[in-house]
Structures are given as structure tokens and as C-alpha cells.
Structure 1
Amino acid sequence: MPATPAWPPRSAPRLFVSDPVSEGVPITLDAEQAHYLSRVMRVGEGDAVIVCDNMTGEWATRVTVAGKRNVMLEPVEKLRDREEVPDLWLCPALLKKDRFDLVLEKATELGVARICPVVTRRCVADKLNHDRVSRIVTEAAEQCARTALPGVEEPVKIEAFLKALPADRALFFADELGGEPAAEVFKTRGTPAAILIGPEGGFDDAEREAIRAHPRAKPITLGPRILRGETAALAAVSLWMGTMGDWQ
């Protein structure tokens, strides 16, 4: 007798929805998500869709209506609770759009809890399109099977960021002019934590002095090479996740 196929199948499409999911309450998708499922993924009635709501966790649902602009889902089974997210903030200076898009996408995949963009004197941008940001982090979370979305803050100037940093949060400052080896420093500080990364041209002297004077800032080095802003951000997060986060 052939084995019964696993349900839901691993290949089932994944979506984040805005409202809490609960058993017995149908889910009506918005037009964009309905188009994606019906026209791109070609789902039909009875097919499985994995749904996350960023609140209760991950659910297996079954398609009950599969129109071109109207797709409805029936929650069948809760698969996982919302994941426990390591308390790490990534605080990158704004970069050129395509490079910052990469930071948003990969930081989401790597598991950060919050992304707090900062604006410095050498930044080439000072604002974000939040519809675009939301789409990037949501699609990244769907691709890597996260059940939690990172929070993304409004960009703030570096001076305001330093002033508002919570008193209980360690600040690791990736300084291209040098610091202590990052992995060693990470191990000496617990959570909560924040990693500060500079822009394409680096921090200027006054900014660097202000950061180093902050009582909770610890300058770190990410090795002998000077890294691009996006590379430094992702390298630092990866190293922190491997030593202090949920990769252990």
C-alpha cells in the first residue's frame, strides 16, 4: 500500500497575513495575495497553504475558494508557535537602495528581532519607503520559514539614536579603525544587544568620537579587511547569531 503523502506538503506556499489566525475562522486574502496564489502558484480548492500571522504562529490552511481575485483559506491545524527571537537589533546606516534592500532581506533571514536604520553625515539617503520595506522583509521571512517578522524602525540621525538607546542594551560598534575581535566581545556581553554599522564612507571623526564616548558602546573589529556596509552588517549578525543567538 502506498504511503499517505504528508500534509501539508513541504512545497506548500507560505504567506504572512495581517490578522490573527484561529481555528474555525476563515481567512480572506487581500487582492495581491489572492493573485499570487491563484495566478502565480496556481492553487486550487483543497490545496494547502502555510499561513503565519506574526502573533500566534504558523498554521496549515486549506483553500476553500480559489478565484482570480478572491481566495479564502480555512485554518486546519496549528503547526508551530511564534518563534522565540534572539534580542538583537541591527542598526545599519542607510545605504544605496539596492544595497540596503540586501541588508533588509538577509537580516530578516538571519533572524534579527529589529532593524533600526540610522542616518549619518556620509549617508547617501535619509528616508525609506515603508511599503517597499514591508514587502522585502515579509517575502524574506516567507522564503526562510520564519514565523516572526522583524520590526523596522523609522530612520533616525545617529545623535538621536545614541540618546534613545535603552539603558540595558549593549551597543557593538563596528569601527573600521579597529576594536576588539567581535566574537570575543559578543561572548562577554549578554542580551539585549545592538550592532551599529556605518555607511559607504564610514563615520566621520565627530560621529566616531560620540559613539566611542557612549557608556554602553564597545568598538569591535570584523577582521583585517575593510568591508562594505552591507557586508559588515551581515557578517556581524552572522557572527553574533553563531556565538550568542539561536544558531548554537
Structure 2
Amino acid sequence: MIRLFISETTPPFAEGLSVILNPDQSRYLAAVMRLSVDDTVSIFNGRDGEWGARLSEVGKKAVKLDLIEQTRPQPTGQGPILAVALIKRSALEYIVEKATELGAGTIQLLTTRRTNASHTNVERLVSIAKESAEQTERLDVPEILAPVKLDRFLAAAAFDRLIFGDENSTHEGTRETLPLLQALKTTAAVERSVILIGPEGGFDDDERLALRGRPDCIPVNLGPRILRADTAAISALTLYQAVVGDWR
């Protein structure tokens, strides 16, 4: 069954509601998939669950859908925040795709002192997240937030717990670096948790000390090998979902 994400700006989904698809989605159904009147698709908006919809009009420029019935309710709760420093474009796009599959609720892009990129195409990342949600039967799309500096993100503190992947596993003072799995076992599902992944060059000493000085931060060890940023992000999200999230 073809699945489409419909903008959250539409009215709440209800039986009989009609939706006009945007030009790209209309072209996809009519020209690429060659659907016609009375064919059915599944749609979701991240708010009202998944609905079956019937094509009621198929034109050269627009396709109209009529909602039939809800096929799945919207799940409650939300996944963790993945805060990730900007890295090379292909690797960052891969992270966004896989983080969507793995249930991240929000993806916050960051710049750090060792970040080797100052900007990214956020609109393209949003498009990748939407496509990934459509393909994996997810009923929402993670919010992709434009890059902010690490210190600004930390100052806002819009989270309960920050799990910091520290590539340097040495001990500092009395705060030891815990294995990620052990740290997750102390994390409650109701908490708004952040998984923080640094840039390709790692965090510098000042950033690491600032992170370790926060009472809401748990420095974790990601194992005996140095992981690429995309590998670290995917591994951390996988363990999170297995221990705290919706894989339990």
C-alpha cells in the first residue's frame, strides 16, 4: 500500500474529509504510480493516526483524496532527541534516514568547535525524514531543527537527561564514563532524553569539561573502538529503543 505524509496544516483527519495533494505527491500518484479514480492509498499527518483514502479526482495538476476510515490510531509518547554535530553531507543524510527508522522524536543539528561544516540543507533533510517515515510505516516525522551552537543548545536545556557519547574513555574526577547500556538502564521512558553525538574530530577539552560538569549529563562509553559519527548515532538509538523505548 502506498503511504503519504500529509502536512500537519491540514484540518484534523475525519471520515469524508477531502484533501488536495501537493504537486509532487499528485505527480507521484498519477504519473509515476499511474493510479486512477477509486484507487486507495494510506495517509498520515503525525497527529491523527493512519487513514485509508480513495482517489476521487485525478487531474493533470492535482489529485484529490477522500478519507475513508482510520486504520491505525496515533501512538502516544515520543522518541528521544538526537543531537548531532554537522558532518559530511552523505553521512548526515544517512543519520537522518536511520534515526527516523529508529524512532527519534527530534533531530537537533549542532555546530561545535571541531565541526567541519557550518551549514546544511535542512529542507532536504526534512524530505529524507518524510520519505523514511512513509516507507517504514511510522506515523509521524521527526522534527529536524536547524543548526545551533552547542553552548546555546545546552543553555536552553529543553530536556531531562543528556546522554553524552564521550570518545575519550578516561576517568575524570569521580565521574566515571559508564557503558551506554548501563546508563540507559537508569533512564526512565517518561524522561525527555537527548543522545548527543559529536563531530568527526570529537569534542574539544573545554566542551567535554562543560558537558561533564552538568548534573543532567551522563557521559557514556561507546566501546573500545572509535566509532564514526553515523555508526555511533545508529548504535545509540538502537540500544535506547531496546532498553527504554518501543522495542521492549
TM exceeding 0.5: yes
Identity %, equivalent residues: 41
Change (3 A) 1:202 1:230: same
Letter in 2 for 1:17: I
Structure 2 residue aligned with 1:175: 166
TM-score by length of 1: 0.91
Letter in 1 for 2:216: R
1:97 aligns with 2:89: yes
Judge conservation of contact 1:92–1:118 (CA < 8 Å) in 2: yes
Structure 2 residue aligned with 1:17: 6
Aligned partners of 1:127 and 1:57: how far apart in 2? 34
* Structure 1 gap segments, 5+ residues each: 1-11
Judge conservation of contact 2:14–2:69 (CA < 8 Å) in 1: no
The one of 24, 32, 41 aligned to 1:32: 24
Aligned partners of 1:124 and 1:51: how far apart in 2? 38
Structure 1 residue aligned with 2:173: none
Structure 2 residue aligned with 1:46: 38
Judge conservation of contact 1:118–1:157 (CA < 8 Å) in 2: yes
Structure 2 residue aligned with 1:6: none
Letter in 2 for 1:119: T
- Count of equivalent residues: 236
Judge conservation of contact 1:17–1:51 (CA < 8 Å) in 2: yes
1:1-248 correspondence runs (5 A): 12-18=1-7, 19=10, 20-166=12-158, 169-178=160-169, 179-190=177-188, 191-248=191-248
Aligned partners of 1:87 and 1:103: how far apart in 2? 15
Structure 1 residue aligned with 2:172: none
TM-score by length of 2: 0.91
CA RMSD of aligned residues (A): 1.2
After superposition, give the CA deviation of every residue in 1:31-66 in whole Å (9 maximum; x if it has no partner). 110011111112111111100011111100011112
Moved >6 Å (runs of 4+): none
Letter in 2 for 1:203: F
| Local SS of the residue matching 1:59 | strand
* Structure 2 gap segments, 5+ residues each: 170-176
